[in-house]
Chains A and B, each alone.
Chain A
Amino acid sequence: MKLGVYICHCGVNIKANVNVAKLTKFAEQLPRVRVARDYLYMCSEPGQQLIKKDIEEHGLDRVVVAACSPRMHEITFRKALRSAGLNPHCLEIANIREQCSWVHEDRMKATQKAQKLLAAAVSKAALLEPLEEKEVEVTPAALVVGGGIAGIQAALDIADTGYKVYLVEKEPSIGGHMIQLDKTFPTLDCSACILTPKMADVGNHPNIELFSYSEVVAVKGFVGNFEVTIKKKPRYIDETKCNACGQCAQYCSIEVPDSFNLNLSKRKCIYIPFPQSVPACYVIDPDHCRYLLTRDCTQCLEVCKQGTNAIDFTQKEELVEVKVGTIVIATGYDLFDVTTKPEYGYHLYDNVITGLEFERLSNASGPTTGEIIINGKKPKDVVFIQCVGSRDKTVGNEYCSRVCCMYTAKQAHLVREKLPQATITVFYMDVRAFGKGFEEFYDRVKQEGVKYRRGNPSEVYRRGDRLVVKAEDTLQGELVEVEADLVVLASGIIPNKQTAQIASLLKLSQSPDRFLLEAHPKLRPVDSASDGIFLAGCCQGPKDIPDSVAQASAAAAKSLIPLSTGKVIIQALTSFVQESDCRGCGFCVEACPFDAIELREVKRGRRVLEVASVNEVLCKGCGVCASVCLSGAIQQKSFADRQILSMVAALGEEYA
């Protein structure tokens, strides 16, 4: 057994706090080490060449790299080994940067620790086995969860490449929050006008199968071969028959608040969320329908019978199974609940509204056909309050929602356009106008006579028939009270309320802000930590529309890689059974979270007995089986007991 040890300076990142020369000398005298070298940047091309050359010249069997975290460059060095003809799994990395030089100040102690980490890596490396990487076929289809702008874009990009897409949306129509918006900042495009063509494309795309009014309830399998169960809620209307003529709604006698308009208007119990809905199909609200509740009304049914006869009260919840190779999560966001800041009086006063309510109010297809009318009157004095529920530790949201500054500016502009005489005041903490054209737009709005006052209002209360916004103007250093007859709260973005549920369904992590966590904040912002599952849009963090679209296209591209190569390499770190040691107790079978182990009969001498056997395709390599095995018969490749124990022993030694 011949080992090569390669110690990286990482510029000064490692060298500054670890005595690399000493470490190299130390490595030279470790057992089985044939060659030990240090280099400025091991991950660089010349660094890798150093390793490759040694493998060829010295016939190294195992390689140890002491550098940054294996989570950074394990793959880089594995490739280097492979290209030099060595099995890529004959590599062990000692993490002397993230877990040593960057976290310890005392150079001597950091060097001592680096020695231990290196000795542990060397002792494990000597016990590493070459591993075979197996390929499996990929189901040439993708699942996109969420039909907002991000999900729509991802679905279209994948479908346009020629692969089948299953798009699942929990609402009766796709469109997400974007379809509720009036204009988009900073260009003032009509939100629906730019979105509806894409929605129509989804509806008509031969490669997209849309599951609206549906939810993903189970996901099994792994990259390349996911099995997804989708729950289709009953619409009580046959999607293939309904032509959205709307006769039914005219005859329906039940009126309920219209959630699409944020309950600012009413809709019928049989309804289509908005005229351009995709699918263009009505739906019956099961919580209010008199037929479904008490069977004493069949108005819609009767009128529909004379038309396409699409209403079908016998529809039941349906579970559909689909197989896909990759998954894009685009489950979007919810708005911060402004009632958790009662000082702003949202729950008390009709003329305190949220930003999204303003969008409906200002929208031509909204409850006021686009006129800004509150309590029957056009407001004269309008106040916007920014950062409601964002950058606010008291409500647990430390982050910036990234869209409120600009949507407030846009809304202020819309007020100016529609109510030229109104006074408009914006209370802000900082204005973050970081995007393309944002600063210019902000400047324009200020030029239009919108008054920006720096300060976080403490209270909104009623005086007579008017509202008063009380704040400290922190630039003037004075307490101000601004009268208003419309107050718009720029409510921030929070993760979709079902995020935790989605995370547990797909084994994804959440960051402390509760949004879904990407695999790497800089370099893998679209990947999740689970292979084959990608993130798009606001499920990963607050974003505006162009950022959501960009991430969606990126997620689509990433998810297309396995689909187009048609093969994925299944991870090699599976469990394996040393049959002669297996006692057949089945503890591993019971403990395996993935049902990847079964008992099968083998002959041992004269006996026929059962031993454990691992299905390497199902095994995800957690090693739970190995920890419950009393005879040490089932082990995890590259994390076998003897390999872990060798590290323990090395860490226990004292080195000079």
Chain B
Amino acid sequence: MLKKFDPNIMAFLCNWCSYAGADLTGTSHFHYPPNLKAIRVMCTGRINPLMVAAAFRHGADGVLISGCHPGECHYMEGNYLARRKIFVFRNLLEFVGINPERLQMSWVSASEGKKFSNVVKEITEKIKKLGPLTTFDE
């Protein structure tokens, strides 16, 4: 029997907004699926899209990048810089035949605990529908 697909989702969360938001999700005990595992970075601007590629190569079926809402970056513009890079990288992924939906970006503030749990739920569902990412298996 085929094992039920249980996606591996990695997240890069900025320290000031989304990681704090994810902590608030915990403090408020809003549940979400355990598929998502977070890596804390200080700012989404720190994220090099190649880290996303590396995540896929190391077995991630989906990747979430989450940071402060536009205009609210702790470092002023890191999230804007990240958005541009991620946008371009998603297009590149799509062009080589990797569904760009596997790379999601969201804005979650430190006070949006509920939103974070919803984002995780929806992304997990989405990746489940897309099935495992096999491109990097060979």
Contacts and interface: CB of A to CB of B under 8 A. Distances in A.
Interface of A: 69-72, 95, 97-100, 102-106, 109-110, 112-113, 116-117, 120, 503-504, 507, 509-512, 517, 529-530, 573, 591, 593-594, 620-624, 626-628, 636, 639, 641, 644-645, 647-649, 651-654
A309 to B, nearest CB: 46
A623 B25 contact: no
Interface in B3-26: 8, 10, 15-17, 19-20, 22-26
A529 B26 CA distance: 19
B47 interface: yes
B111 A512 contact: yes
Contacts of A654: 59
A648 B76 contact: no
21 contacts: A71-B19, A100-B34, A103-B25, A103-B34, A103-B117, A106-B34, A112-B34, A509-B72, A509-B109, A509-B110, A529-B110, A591-B81, A593-B75, A622-B78, A623-B43, A636-B46, A644-B51, A648-B51, A648-B58, A651-B8, A653-B58
Contacts of A95: 23, 38, 40
Contacts of A97: 26
Contacts of A621: 42
The 7 closest A-B pairs by CB, nearest first: A98-B26, A652-B58, A623-B46, A652-B59, A622-B75, A624-B45, A102-B26
Nearest to A645: B54
A72 B60 CA distance: 28
A109 B36 CA distance: 11
Given A591-B45, A626-B48, 5 more contacts: A98-B26, A507-B76, A509-B17, A647-B39, A652-B60
Nearest to A106: B34
Interface in B36-82: 37-43, 45-48, 51, 54-55, 58-60, 68, 71-78, 81-82
B126 interface: no
Contacts of B74: 507, 509, 529-530, 622
A113 B46 contact: no
Contacts of A98: 22-27
* Size class of the contact patch on chain B: 35 or more
Contacts of B40: 70, 95
Nearest to B39: A647
Nearest to A105: B31
A109 B34 contact: yes
B85 A627 contact: yes
Contacts of B42: 573, 621-623, 636, 639
Contacts of B43: 622-624
A276 B24 CA distance: 46
A573 B75 CA distance: 14
Contacts of B68: 509
A98 B20 CA distance: 10
A648 B58 CA distance: 7
B30 interface: yes
Nearest to B115: A512
Contact of A117 (B25, B33, B37, B47): B37
A441 B29 CA distance: 38
Interface string B80-120: 01100100000000000000000000000111100001000
Contacts of A113: 34, 37
